[in-house]
Structure formats: C-alpha cells, structure tokens
Amino acid sequence: MERAKQFFKTWLLWDMITGLRLTLRRMFEPRTTVFYPEEKTPKSRRFRGMHALRRYENGEERCIACKLCEAVCPALAITIDIAEREDGTRRTTRYEVDMSKCIYCGMCEESCPVDSIVLTNIHEYHGESHQDLYFTKEMLLAVGDRYERQIAHDRAGDAAYR
Amino acid sequence: MIDAMAHFFAEWGTLGMLVWTLLKIICIALPLPIIVAFYVYAERRVIGATQWRYGPTRVGPYGLLQSFADLLKMLFKEIIWPQRANKGLFTIAPVLVVITAMASWAVIPVSDKLWLTDIDASLLYIMMLSSVGVYGIILAGWSANSRYAFLGAMRSTAQLISYELAMGFALVGVVLLTHSLNLLEIVHHQEGGILSWHVWPLLPLFFVYWFAGIAETNRHPFDMAEGESELVAGFHVEHGGITFALFFLAEYINMIIISVLIVILFLGGWMAPFPFLNEIGFLGITPLGDGFLWLVVKVVFFLFAYLWIRATFPRYRYDQIMRLGWKVFIPLTLFWVVIVAVATQWSRMFG
C-alpha cells in the first residue's frame, strides 16, 4: 500500500504540484516592498547614522576636548587637536571624523561625558570623493545645529532606557 | 488579402519578389522582439509577485518600458572580444542562434487564415532549425576561449541532444495520429472540441514534450547551461552588449515557439474548446469561436507556466537531468509511441 502510494506520488508529480500551488498562492498575497524614496520605514531612536557635534542652548559648544572618543574609536576615525581658548577653557582646534573609516558602532557617543558627539538618524548622505566624506569640526557643528531638534527629541525619548 | 498582395508584388518580377520576401521577414522580425520585451517584463513581475515584491515599476507606467530601457542600454554597450577568442565565430554565434529561432516562425500558423508559409513538412523544418540552433551555442562556447563558456556549451549541447530525442519521439506520436508533418493539417485533425484534441490519446507524450521543451530552451529547472551558481552564465559569459542581447532574445523566442508548438500539436491550436462557441456571435463575427484569440489564451498559459516553474523549483543536478532524459523520458515516449502505433493500425484495419 505504502509503495503504491509512493508510486503514484512520484508519477503524478505530487510534490511538484504542491510546490507550484504554494508559489501560486504567494502571487496573490500582499507584498512587502517599500518604495524607498517615496516611502520610508520608521527608524529607531537609537539609529546610528551621520555624526554631529552638539551645542548647549546658549550656543556654547559642548565638547571639552577630553579625547575619550578618539581613544575609544575602534576604527581610528576621529582626530582631535587641543588648545586653550582665550577664556581659559579647554577646547578642540581640530575635530575631524573620517566617515569612510567609521564603522558606526556608536562608542564615541557612549563615551562622551557631555553628550557632544552624537550619531544622528540621518543615513542618506554621500560624497563624490574621499575628501567629501572627511568631516571637519565646522561641518559637524553645522550638522548638529541643523538637526538639534531631532537629536534632542531622540535622546529624550530614549533617556529612560539608557 | 494576403494572396492579393502576393499577386501584386509578383507582377513586379524579381524586385517584387524581393520586396515581398522582405515584408515577410519584417512581419516576423518586428513583432517578435516586442513580444519578447513584454514577456521579459512579465517574467520579472511574476517572479517578483511570488516573492512578495513588485519587480520593475519605475520605467513607464507600471514599469512597462523596462525591457526597452534595458535593450537601449545593451545597444550602447561596447562589445568586448576576449583575447585569443575566435573573433568571427564569436560574432556569428549569437546571430546564428537568433536566425534559427526566428526562422521557425515562418511556418507557424497562428490562426485559420494567418501564416507566412505553408510547407509540407513544417514540423520537420522546425525540428531541423532547433537542431541547427545548437551550433550557435557550441560556437559561442568554443570561440570565447573561456572555461566557463566552454563548460556551459558542453552541458547545453549534451542536454539539448538528449532531450531532442525525447521531443522527437513525442512528435512521432503526433505524426502517427495525423499522418502528416504539416502543422496546419495537424491542427485541422483536432477539430471538434476539447475531447478530440491530441492531448488525451497522447497524454504522456504531451507532458514529456512540455518538460523536454523546458529543457530544450535551457530554462529553469533545467538551466544547467547557464547555472549562475556554477558557471556564471554558461555559454555566453564572454558575450556582452548586443551580442548578449541576441542570445537573450533567442532564448525567449524559443520559449514562445515551444509554447506555441505545444498548443498546436496537442491542444488544438486556435480551436475553441467547445464547438458551440462558434455559434455565439452577431453580424457574422464570432468573438469566442475558433481563431487567434484562443491560440493566444492557450499560449499565454504555457508562457506563464515557464515563469511559474522557474519561480518554484530549484535547479536539477547535472546527472539528474541526464537520468531524467535518458531513463525516464525516452523509454516512456518509446513505450507510448508503440501503443499509439498499434492503436492507429488497429483502428485502420478493424475500426
């Protein structure tokens, strides 16, 4: 009996028909495609994208040039030079992130004692050459200024879980 | 009307005949690539749908012009002749494949009144052309001076030859039933509704022809010749730009030919499945009666089946393909051909 069943299963291509039925059913099921530039999937508050340097509300830059981020960076993407400013505070004269080296691990943000360097949730940025992806201090501060609202919002929402 | 046109051109003498022949060639060479373009688009959409995605949607409305964009890109690409490749053969190979694929269309009748030529042994002619098409593949693989291409060509040739046997025997069954090698007569022999189609007396041969046809066109799950995971692209690895496009075109034309042949040989060609459909109509027009429409409907099913099967099954292993061809298909067809021969002879002597 079992052998007869197997015989008919083989010669009537039963397994193949089962497979064909599956794909046919799939054809009429809803699709999961997201039409990217028009549609976007929601991003996590912890998304690690483009870097930014933040400022305090009074406009003073947060960075105190402790160099923790430079030390912790596993890809050695951060370069920092330090000098004393006229008012006697310790500030960076150079703060550069090589975006083509960065692995977006987020350890710079974690190590920062003043929440200065952060990773925003922007991932759609590009450069036409290697140099374009070498972000200087001015560029990073500009990013921070521009997206401060988003950055603060994400950090506030996530603060309870940190 | 076609006869009138033929007479009109025949009056011009030699020049007229040339123009007439050229017109006939254009009748095949112009619509076919357009059909193929939309078929390729359909393939991408169907396979996309089975995988919960869309396929091309950007170029033109619903992505309908995607294939034309691809074609345009290929046209403008540089043809690269590999070092130490046999340049002449390398260039001729894709042309040969396309010519044989297109030439088969000359004898295929698409409706009761519409065909290009009506020769006595049109079935034999098509078999012959599909065998010549193999030369294009061998030449492409051989002349490219590449291991992958050569391996692909070898596999493809072995596969085509093995499956051509099974296909040929499946056709013998049809020929035994109809006593004719002419496609028109084969279709007319199946007059009288769905029950008089050849598919019923020749059911095993129908399936063998169908699957061997898939193997013959090197389509999934029998696409050993291409085998992306092993051979990159098989016999046409080294061909780029328009030479690749020609191979691509030929493959799809062959798929359409096989589908049309299945319909003509086994499923009554342009015949309506039920004879009473010929009665429904007004003003002398019977939209659901015998005609082009039914051929298209049946052919589209088989074209869809190609894509459906591709979306479903993984590729066969090479020895499995050979086993299926030699140990299953050929004995099965031989067995059934004998039965058909005895039955027809029996009915002629006693029936």
pLDDT at B182 over 80: yes
Closest CA to B175 of B122, B221, B106, B218: B122
Contact assignment for B52 to A26 by CB distance below 8 Å: yes
Helix, strand, coil % (nearest 5) of chain B?
Answer: 70, 0, 30
> What pLDDT, on a 0 to 100 scale, did the predictor assign at position A80?
92
Helix, strand, coil % (nearest 5) of chain A?
Answer: 40, 15, 45
Distances (CA, A) of A146 to A106, A140, B94, B152: 20, 10, 57, 57
Write out chain B residues lying below 8 Å of A22, CB-based. 312
Rounded-to-integer distance, Cα B45 and Cα A31, Å: 12
Q: Residues A49-66: pLDDT tens digits?
A: 899 999 998 988 898 989
B345 near A CB under 8 A:
no
Tokens read off for B252: 């799809």
**Nearest C-alpha in A relative to B47:** A27
Rounded to the nearest angstrom, the gap between the alpha carbon of residue B179 and the centroid of all alpha carbons in its chain is 23
CB count, 10 Å around CB of A34?
9
Q: Give the contacts of B128 (CB within 8 A, at least 6 positions apart).
A: none
pLDDT above 70 as % of chain A: 100
How far apart are the CA of A12 and the nearest CA of chain B, in angstroms? 11
Q: Residues B327-343: pLDDT tens digits?
A: 888 998 999 999 988 88
What beta strand segments (E) does chain B contain?
none
Tokens read off for B189: 């022999």
Q: Out of B46, B53, B309, name the one closest to residue A31 (CB).
A: B53
Please state the rounded mean pLDDT for residues B275-298: 75
Q: Out of B46, B52, B312, name the one closest to residue A32 (CB).
A: B52
Classify the complex by whether its ipTM is higher than 0.85, answering yes or no.
no
Contact assignment for B53 to A24 by CB distance below 8 Å: no
Q: Residues A116-149: pLDDT tens digits?
A: 999 998 888 888 988 888 999 999 999 999 998 8
Q: Which of B309, B312, B324 is the mutation pick for testing A, counting most A CBs within 10 A?
A: B312
Contact B123, B171 (CB under 8 A): yes
Given pLDDT bands bounded at 50, 70 and 90, which one contains residue A75? very high
B332 near A CB under 8 A:
no
Q: How far apart are the first and last CA of chain A?
A: 65
Tokens 């690409």 locate to B77
pLDDT at B61 over 70: yes
> What pLDDT, on a 0 to 100 scale, did the predictor assign at position B140?
87
Rounded-to-integer distance, Cα A136 and Cα A61, Å: 15
Q: Per DSSP, what are the bridge partners of residue A28?
A: none
Contact B104, B270 (CB under 8 A): no
Q: Residues A96-119: pLDDT tens digits?
A: 999 989 999 989 999 999 989 999
B53 near A CB under 8 A:
yes
CB count, 10 Å around CB of B246?
22
DSSP notation for B129-198: HHHHHHHHHHHHHHHTT-HHHHHHHHHHHHHHHHHHHHHHHHHHHHHHHHS---HHHHHHHT-SSGGGST
Q: Residues B101-142: pLDDT tens digits?
A: 888 888 888 777 777 777 888 888 888 888 888 888 888 888
Q: Residues A77-99: pLDDT tens digits?
A: 999 999 998 888 889 999 999 99
Contact B141, B226 (CB under 8 A): no
Q: Residues B7-30: pLDDT tens digits?
A: 777 777 788 888 888 888 888 788
pLDDT at B283 over 90: no
For A78, which DSSP code?
Answer: E
Residues found in chain B? 351
Distances (CA, A) of B302 to A23, B70, B327: 16, 25, 25
How far apart are the CA of A125 and the nearest CA of chain B, in angstroms? 23
> What pLDDT, on a 0 to 100 scale, did the predictor assign at position A52?
92
Closest CA to B209 of B159, B255, B162, B266: B266
pLDDT at B227 over 80: no
Between B117 and B99, where is the model more confident? B99
Closest CA to B197 of B291, B112, B257, B269: B269
Between B56 and B191, where is the model more confident? B56
Q: Residues B167-181: pLDDT tens digits?
A: 888 888 888 888 888
Rounded to the nearest angstrom, the gap between the alpha carbon of residue B234 and the centroid of all alpha carbons in its chain is 20
Contact B268, B94 (CB under 8 A): no
Q: Per DSSP, what are the bridge partners of residue A97?
A: A78, A135
Given pLDDT bands bounded at 50, 70 and 90, which one contains residue B351? low
pLDDT above 70 as % of chain B: 96
> What pLDDT, on a 0 to 100 scale, did the predictor assign at position B2?
65
Contact A33, B53 (CB under 8 A): yes
